[in-house]
Structure 1
Amino acid sequence: MSTLRVTAEVLTVHPHPDADALELAQVGLYRAVVAKGAYVTGDIAVYIPEQAVLPAALIEELGLTGRLAGSGADRVTAVRLRGELSQGLVCRPAALADVDLAEAAAGGTDFAGRLGIVKWSPPVPPTMSGEAESAPDLLPWPDIENLQRHPDVFEPGEPVVLTEKLHGTACLLTLHTEDGRVQVSSKGFGARGLALREDPRNLYWRAVLAHDLPAAARRLAARLGARRVGFFGEVYGAGVQDLAYGADARTDAVGYALFDVAAEIGGEVRWLDPAQVLEPGEVPLVPRLYEGPYDLDTVLAHASGRETVSGRETHLREGVVVRAATERHSPVVGGRAVAKAVSPAYLTRKGGTEYE
């Protein structure tokens, strides 16, 4: 998931094509349904993104009691209102009445703490949990920001690569060549500097061993002369999330697809394209959907459709991950030039799961 920030934003207001009393307030490429006349283009308001959990007082103030998602009816999610996708909330909370929103927008002030808003943490099923241990030298996977929130990450025409985004659970593996240690973790545990002790019942370890990832990491480390190698992949299949891609994580047929590689070479951690540094068939990779000049419409077109992992188009596609063909820093997101674009059909599907 991307980082949670609640910020003041300049709005662009569009008519709602199928509701006289509603309009669409645009922030970045997101659009949120608002009452007609509440805002005009150029107004500044607070934008609360998806996956934000709101305190009860704010929910009541916004007139959203009983209308949000989750067991506590307090979580912001994408919804369709009169046929239009609404992502996030646009509002002017009373708690910020004394704030110069124009100044806050210019400075990128984050109001999450002041408003009591926190990021939703998905539940962790027992098969994805386990006994954790400190792992300060684990290579962590950074959050990927949403392209619709940060549409200026890439320049028009810049060479990019699009890979399919899988709905599973992120698995982190770090190989230490000096002593042969292999550390395995989830995104959530890894973000806290923790690894999972080896356990044949644990989903991540089962995937790592089933696909012989430590051996592949050792071969890559030898080719690169790396001190550490990190594999970042998605574990998927029935028993993980609602989208299974024809695999079954409850058996030996647990699915795995590598989406990123990091290597510490000469004291510097470098991010590498798995398709360029691994031998064909050495490790299952996420499907590569497009390579070419960056064009927003092309990205959004690829974000929707049917999955290609199983080869049978068994269900909808979650979205795509976009990255610069040549690894670079992005001042827009303050990190790697990587972003995701998610399918509207995925966001509004019924019965979806979002486990960590």
Structure 2
Amino acid sequence: MSTLRVTAEELTVHEHPNADALELAQVGLYRAVVAKRAYRSGEFALYIPEQAVLPAGLIEELGLTGRLAGGGADRVKAVRLRGELSQGLVCRPAALAEVDLTQAAEEGTDFAGLLGITKWSPPVPTTMSGDVEAAPDLLPWVDIENLQRYPDVFEAGEPVVLTEKLHGTACLSTYVVEGGQVLVSSKGFGSRGLALAEDERNLYWRAVRGHGVPEVAARLAARLGATRVGIFAEVYGGGVQDLAYGTDVRTADAPPGYAVFDISAEIDGQVRWLDPADVLPDGELPLVPRLFEGPYDLDTVLEWASGRETVSGRGLHLREGVVIRPAAERYSPVVGGRAIAKAVSPAYLTRKGGTEYE
């Protein structure tokens, strides 16, 4: 999941093709359905992204009582309104009536705390939880921002790689050369510097042991001269999320589905990000499907983000989206970190019965 920021943004307003009383307010590449003539192009308003949880007072003020997602009807989720995809909320809350939104946009002010808006945390199934312990040597994963919120992360024509984004649960594993320690965690626990105690019933440990990840990491550390190696993968299958890719983690005769999407290594005291396809010999570990390599073009990325999954080889269901990264690892001043982003399929966002465990 990407970071939650509630910021003032300049709007570009478009006509709604299917509704006389509605318009589309664009922020980045996102479009939110708004009442007609509520905003004009060039004006500034607050943008509340998907996965934001709103307090009751703000929900009532915006006239959204009973209209948001989740058990408490308080979570912002992508929806289709009169045939148009609406992602996030555009508004001007009364609490910000005296705020200069133009200046706030220039300064990048985050209003989430002031408004009592929090980020939604998905529930954790018992197979993904367990006893945890402090793990200072765990190599962490990073949040990937959405390309539609930050469309300038990549430059036109820049060499990029698109890999399929899988709908599973992120598994973090770190191999520490000194002592041969193996640390395994989820994205949520890992962000707090915690690792899961080994348990043969735990989903992440089943995947790591079942696919021989520690042995692969040890060999990779030796080849790289690394003191630590982090292997980041998606664990997937029926019993994890609603998209199963033709496998089921509840069967005991095979390990859960597992696909590596990133690798980091500490070499000479510095942590470096590595492309799994460059450093892992063929067949050592399953990798996420590589869909496209070539010059960056927004339309090409959005086209690849939709369609059918390729993991099963049978196109069993829709694709979640794609992850975009430069062919050569670099820093991005746009997101203040790694130049990496995701683009998500509109069909995935609006599917029925979807699960979002982390």
Bin for the TM-score computed over the shorter chain: over 0.9
Q: SS of 1:195's equivalent?
A: strand
Tell me what 2:266 maps to: 264
Confirm or deny that 1:232 pairs with 2:232.
yes
CA contact (8 A) 1:46 1:91 kept: yes
Residues in 2 aligned to 1:254 and 1:316: alpha-carbon distance in whole angstroms: 20
Counterpart amino acid of residue 118 in structure 1 = T
Tell me what 2:171 maps to: 171
By how many angstroms is 1:253 displaced? 4.2
Counterpart amino acid of residue 286 in structure 1 = V
Residues in 2 aligned to 1:145 and 1:269: alpha-carbon distance in whole angstroms: 21
Counterpart amino acid of residue 133 in structure 1 = E
Residues in 2 aligned to 1:156 and 1:310: alpha-carbon distance in whole angstroms: 32
Tell me what 1:129 maps to: 129
Counterpart amino acid of residue 162 in structure 1 = L
Tell me what 2:94 maps to: 94
TM-score, normalised to structure 1's length?
1.00
CA RMSD, 1 decimal: 0.4
Gaps of 5+ in 2: none
Residues in 2 aligned to 1:153 and 1:59: alpha-carbon distance in whole angstroms: 32
Tell me what 2:280 maps to: 278
**How does 1:330-349 map onto structure 2 within 5 Å?**
330-349=332-351
Q: SS of 1:275's equivalent?
A: helix
CA contact (8 A) 1:45 1:91 kept: yes
CA contact (8 A) 2:206 2:255 kept: no
Residues in 2 aligned to 1:295 and 1:164: alpha-carbon distance in whole angstroms: 17
Residues in 2 aligned to 1:254 and 1:106: alpha-carbon distance in whole angstroms: 46
Counterpart amino acid of residue 177 in structure 2 = T
Runs of 4+ in 1 over 3 A off after TM superposition: none
CA contact (8 A) 1:247 1:253 kept: no
Q: Deviations over 1:202-237 (max 9, x none)?
A: 000000011110010011001001000000000000
Tell me what 1:310 maps to: 312
Residues in 2 aligned to 1:11 and 1:179: alpha-carbon distance in whole angstroms: 55
Q: SS of 1:248's equivalent?
A: coil
Tell me what 1:9 maps to: 9
Confirm or deny that 1:353 pairs with 2:343.
no
CA contact (8 A) 1:8 1:47 kept: yes
**How does 1:246-265 map onto structure 2 within 5 Å?**
246-251=246-251, 252-265=254-267
Residues in 2 aligned to 1:253 and 1:216: alpha-carbon distance in whole angstroms: 16
**How does 1:57-72 map onto structure 2 within 5 Å?**
57-72=57-72
Confirm or deny that 1:292 pairs with 2:290.
no
Residues in 2 aligned to 1:179 and 1:328: alpha-carbon distance in whole angstroms: 32
Tell me what 1:35 maps to: 35
Tell me what 1:21 maps to: 21
Q: Deviations over 1:6-29 (max 9, x none)?
A: 000000000000000000000000
Residues in 1 aligned to 2:278 and 2:131: alpha-carbon distance in whole angstroms: 35
Q: Which stretch shows the higher mean deviation, 245-254 or 273-282?
A: 245-254
Residues in 1 aligned to 2:85 and 2:136: alpha-carbon distance in whole angstroms: 41
Residues in 2 aligned to 1:96 and 1:10: alpha-carbon distance in whole angstroms: 16
Counterpart amino acid of residue 86 in structure 2 = S
By how many angstroms is 1:178 displaced? 1.0
Aligned length: 356
Provide the identity percentage: 80
CA contact (8 A) 1:238 1:247 kept: yes
TM-score, normalised to structure 2's length?
0.99
By how many angstroms is 1:128 displaced? 0.2
